[in-house]
Homo-oligomer: A and B are copies of this chain.
């Protein structure tokens, strides 16, 4: 559990003013023991339900994008009408449950190293991620 002061420092150190709205979002996003996945709408709900407060939708979008840019959030490639974000910013693999539309992290040590024996001239690899789609048996 991080303290408010730590969030303030973190924001300042990345050139973001520690506003009330950003600190609230930090609390909802980072003040927990495990990482999680969310959509903008999920986040909006959590703010109104958990904190019983309201942040304008535009600010939520702004802040999520700012945090992504600073590397505090990661956007996940799932084909959908909406964007998914992840507080786990490391390169990692996912299950995507087609029955529940839920995204679940796969622990790195449970996937054997992936070897790609081909490359594209003039290009460098920035990530290699696996998406395992599952559904109810």
* Interface contact A135-B128, CB-CB below 8 Å: no
For A113, the closest partner residue in chain B by CB is B112
A51 at the interface (CB under 8 A from B): no
Q: Which of A7-15, A57-65, A118-126 contacts B (4 or more CB under 8 A)?
A: A118-126
A129 at the interface (CB under 8 A from B): yes
Among candidates B95, B120, B128, residue contacting A97 with C-beta atoms closer than 8 Å: B120
* Interface contact A136-B116, CB-CB below 8 Å: no
Given A79-B75, A116-B106, A117-B111: A127 and B123 interface contact (C-beta under 8 Å):
no
* Interface contact B112-A137, CB-CB below 8 Å: no
A5 at the interface (CB under 8 A from B): no
Chain B residues within 8 Å of A55, by CB: none
For A137, the closest partner residue in chain B by CB is B124
